Structure 1
Amino acid sequence: MNNVEWWRGAVIYQIYPRSFADSNADGIGDLPGIVDKLDYIADLGVDAIWISPFFKSPMADFGYDISDYRDVDPMFGTLADFDRLLDKAHNLGLKVMIDQVLSHTSDQHAWFLESRESRDNPKADWYVWADPRPDGTPPNNWLSIFGGCAWQWEPRRGQYYLHNFLTSQPDLNFHNPEVQQAALDNVEFWLKRGVDGFRLDAINFCFHDKQLRDNPAKPEAERSGRGFSNDNPYAFQYHWYNNTQPENLAFIDDLRALLDKYPDTAALGEISSEDSLATMAEYTQPGRLHLGYSFEFLTDDSDAGYIRHTVENLENKLGQGWPCWAFSNHDVKRVATRWARNGEVSATQASMLNVLLGCIRGSICMYQGEELGLSEADIPYELLQDPYGITFWPNFKGRDGCRTPMPWLQNDEFAGFSTVTPWLPAVDEHKVVAVDTQQAAGSVLQSTKAFLHWRKTQPVLLAGDIRFTELSEPLLGFWREYEGKRLLCVFNLSADVHSLSLDAIASNAVQLAPGGVEVSGNTLHLPPFGYSVLSAD
């Protein structure tokens, strides 16, 4: 595989810095803590790290509300700490991607503090401001993801401002060319510092409909996806006008042109739209984003048919674009719990899912703790930190359950994450699967590590095409093909035993990654959550 870009087929390990490792005993993870654990990450066999926001912020949304794009929040360390992290990661062969939150800022950002003061100051048009309707109500019916109206009244200007997320996260007005240039300048600040790429938060939210047209109502039967259940009014609308506008494509072109000035860098876009797969395909065409991922596998749907339909749907639209997949991240319930069969979390299933993720065509994002098979933590209301969960409790408990401290040590009060009480509790069910307990072969950690290192040696998995084969639920099977080589990947997605005859699909196949599967004649005997990667050459 000569001259293949590093990001194609890459395993990108997501670090949520608040919860990874606390180096200074304040109960909050930090950049020096990440530096201390980089050897562990490199040993996993991943190719890159993606670090969630560590910039200056009031932390209303835990760093996704940025008040200074060019500095590190003291909670996480200093710019010198980041430089040290970058140097060590590069010495270990790891690429470093950082979050960029371009569509909105904190309401404490200097731009917004100036913009809100009057209608004629130099930053007056840097945010999305609108006059009220004649009766004083907001200019349209747009809703915030975090619940309620997406417009907040500002008495200094006598206008409303738009916030697709928290009221403390005002949306920038990307129809203003000065805003676009300022965003690009902030990106270039980090490119000059040596980062290898960016994960672009909510990248399809940069532009809004200039006419401020109302979003149409969505039928009750279609109100689903990304946790927007019927108890969140956000699910009641088709979000045609508050995001994913055609003007966004020209900005993405400009963003890509900037990255192209810095060789070997990449941009990964987070995409959540009414048709996320179509948007993902559109945004990753040549000359645009290198990678895109959506929330199709961050839902409760986990049967073989759904996985096949989702991948095939994207492949049919993708053209020359390149996909990226994730089963978990910092915004959704952990997959070990979300996709558990019969409500029972299984280490065997966790291992299988890590392999499945790594066998689908594309690059992958692996959230910290997935290599341990962590389950969703149950956080009582009185310990919740997430404003999303506090608002929608008890129907939706928010995102704290997937953000609890990384468990490094079993026999430690705070799981080796910190020496003081962490910002979220280190739960007992995580301590029993801490890193130090999973050093024996066969653990989720060791199985995942072995697979990731083996995957690096398989060009077929890194760059090959994908073609699904006809199997009955709960079995999932697909071919990966590259330069005359073929691999057959078979997964049992159930907690029951299943058998599969290979006579019709892969005679004389040889197992390369057996996943507990036994072969009798030309029949695969798949135990619960068993899998097999076979060579058919």
Structure 2
Amino acid sequence: MTNDNNWWKGAVIYQIYPRSYQDSNGDGIGDIPGISSRLPHIANLGVDAIWLSPIFTSPMKDMGYDVSDYCDIDPSFGTLADFDEMVSKAHALGMKVIIDQVISHSSNLHPFFQASRQDRTNPKADWYVWADPNPDGSAPNNWQAIFGGIAWTWEARRRQYFLHNFLTEQPDLNFHNPEVQQWQLDNMRFWLERGVDGFRLDTVNFYFHDEQLRNDPPNPKTDKQKGEWNPYHYLYHTYSKNQPENIAFLEKMRALLDEYDARTLVGEVGEAHRPIELMGEYTTGNRLHMAYSFEMLGHNFFPAHFKKQVQEFFAGAPDGWPNWAFSNHDVIRHVSRWLKPGMDPNHLAKQAAALLLSQQGSVCLYQGEEMGQLETILEYHELTDPQGLNFWPEDKGRDGCRTPMVWSKDQVQGGFSEGKPWLPVKPPQLDHAASEQVGVPGSVYEFYRQMLALRSAQPDLRLGDTRFIDAADPMLVYYRGENILCAFNLSAESHTLALPEGECVLSNQASRSGHDWQFDANGFVILRVK
């Protein structure tokens, strides 16, 4: 495992959703000993690091994104000793370990919030965002919560409202208070001292709010006829997040990590209105090392979209660094999202792997993606996610991408657990079991291994600049560095394209006749040109 301080640049990070990776004790919930037992599967892929979604003590109102103890492991996942053992094993296998940090808000059961809500004079009174009501008793402004409804909840004891950008059970911490900032930095130091190699920062642009509590203006993109399924989308979030004070705190976090060798910060920038601009701003100078992008997590699957994200980022932040992903624990899995009539899901999965892993920037893979796993179709009574429970059927929530990993097609619960899993394992997911793919020539898993090995062996694929070549839709063509040419047919129809002469280093659904290449549905080729 390298101790290079820039190991993160161009790295490939494998995201683990701990509840759904491997259950070691039969309670139906994935845990840290289970993750440890499956680390060889991840190392065999050839990734540089793993990232664990939250594992801290939590009442699990939002599956761990509501933290009640920042310096301990939730009992459902194991113990600190289990965590230390997992980190040691990952390091021995040559992989770094990144963990989530959910510091913009805590659980309402955190002792500090329980103290803060008692009155306006206690030692933690100013540790959360409190505001007086309007003269008519209404909430102080129009800010909306992401999971539905107004972002303010009344506390009778203080005769004030508290802010929560997410669930009522997730009160926002007051980062305008320097004590709060230092406390969270100390919490991060606790994990750095335990040997973690970096942090994925949840909701990194939410830390500060406008102290004047000004109303967010209307979103000019709202369809006046159709409206929005979530009232949060009616607003342009000018004051409830993205505040300028955030920059100074990012620099404090970076200074903390710079005290240690070979550590990294990747921030989740959740922003609909100027995401690429914000990513650039947050990764320029001594701030975040990388910004995690949502811009390739949507339904857009056409050349101009991918070209726009890459070009805009590097034009706006030539000294910044992006982190791209196609799937994660919050969105429909990309094979299901992009599959169209005439497409074979396995060919699409391989094309997506080649496309993602040939991007300039760092990359996150989501568990199961390496097997071409599909979204699980769930019924309402099977849901656990507050987003799906609150907005069904317009939005079915995030449980469909969070169902358990399927290790063996022939084992009970796909080899995930000997008990009833927290979310169901269904037959369509069993078809994408690791047992059907690992070591099987031509499988999606083995293609990921090939593509990861190619990225690792070719510095141009990790760090080379991107230069796009004009090509008619649906062809996406670009150089990485001087000599690597990538061409993708992002459609279900066949297309022919003339390409420069070169050595084919990897392809699928593509064949050459002279200078012309025939690309079948989801065909692609990566060439080393002369």
After superposition, the C-alpha distances for 1:265-299 in whole angstroms (9 at most, x for unaligned) are: 00000001221111100000121100001211111
Q: Do the aligned residues in 2 keep the contact of 1:7 with 1:266 (CA within 8 Å)?
A: yes
| Misfit runs of 4+, over 4 Å | 1-4, 220-223
- Correspondence for 2:234: 236
Q: Tell whether 2:279 aligns with 1:280.
A: yes
3-state SS, counterpart of residue 203 of structure 1: coil
Q: Do the aligned residues in 1 keep the contact of 2:407 with 2:433 (CA within 8 Å)?
A: yes
- Correspondence for 2:150: 149
1:53 positional shift: 0.4
3-state SS, counterpart of residue 257 of structure 1: helix
Contiguous gaps of at least 5 residues in structure 1: none
1:491 positional shift: 0.6
* Residues in 2 aligned to 1:411 and 1:214: alpha-carbon distance in whole angstroms: 56
- 527-536 or 133-142: which moved more? 527-536
Q: Do the aligned residues in 2 keep the contact of 1:471 with 1:477 (CA within 8 Å)?
A: yes
Q: 1:229 to 1:10 in 2, by over 3 A?
A: farther
3-state SS, counterpart of residue 38 of structure 1: helix
1:339 positional shift: 1.1
- 394-403 or 338-347: which moved more? 338-347
Amino acid at match of 1:237: L
1:229 positional shift: 8.1
Q: Do the aligned residues in 1 keep the contact of 2:314 with 2:320 (CA within 8 Å)?
A: no
Q: Do the aligned residues in 1 keep the contact of 2:343 with 2:492 (CA within 8 Å)?
A: no
1:525 positional shift: 1.1
- Correspondence for 1:442: 442
- Correspondence for 2:521: 528
* Residues in 2 aligned to 1:516 and 1:335: alpha-carbon distance in whole angstroms: 19
Q: Tell whether 2:512 aligns with 1:511.
A: no
- Correspondence for 2:489: 492
- 407-416 or 26-35: which moved more? 407-416
Q: Do the aligned residues in 2 keep the contact of 1:297 with 1:327 (CA within 8 Å)?
A: yes
Instruction: Provide the aligned C-alpha RMSD in A.
Output: 1.5
* Residues in 1 aligned to 2:408 and 2:313: alpha-carbon distance in whole angstroms: 40
* Residues in 2 aligned to 1:342 and 1:304: alpha-carbon distance in whole angstroms: 19
- Correspondence for 2:91: 90
Q: Do the aligned residues in 1 keep the contact of 2:222 with 2:233 (CA within 8 Å)?
A: no
Contiguous gaps of at least 5 residues in structure 2: none
Alignment map for 1:394-413 (pairs within 5 Å): 394-413=393-412
Q: Do the aligned residues in 1 keep the contact of 2:293 with 2:322 (CA within 8 Å)?
A: no
Amino acid at match of 1:521: G
3-state SS, counterpart of residue 387 of structure 2: helix
Q: Do the aligned residues in 2 keep the contact of 1:229 with 1:235 (CA within 8 Å)?
A: no
Amino acid at match of 1:494: S
Q: Do the aligned residues in 2 keep the contact of 1:460 with 1:480 (CA within 8 Å)?
A: yes
Q: Tell whether 2:474 aligns with 1:477.
A: no
1:49 positional shift: 0.2
Q: Do the aligned residues in 2 keep the contact of 1:271 with 1:293 (CA within 8 Å)?
A: yes
- Correspondence for 1:184: 185
After superposition, the C-alpha distances for 1:110-133 in whole angstroms (9 at most, x for unaligned) are: 110110011011100000000000
- Correspondence for 1:7: 8
Alignment map for 1:178-327 (pairs within 5 Å): 178-221=179-222, 230-273=228-271, 274-327=273-326
Q: Tell whether 2:498 aligns with 1:501.
A: yes
1:514 positional shift: 2.1
- Correspondence for 1:56: 57
1:314 positional shift: 1.1
Amino acid at match of 1:244: N
Q: Do the aligned residues in 2 keep the contact of 1:200 with 1:269 (CA within 8 Å)?
A: yes
3-state SS, counterpart of residue 527 of structure 1: strand
Q: Do the aligned residues in 2 keep the contact of 1:475 with 1:491 (CA within 8 Å)?
A: yes
1:413 positional shift: 2.9
3-state SS, counterpart of residue 489 of structure 1: strand
Q: Tell whether 2:141 aligns with 1:140.
A: yes
1:62 positional shift: 0.3
3-state SS, counterpart of residue 517 of structure 1: strand
- Correspondence for 2:452: 452
Task: Percent identity, please.
Answer: 52
- Correspondence for 2:332: 333
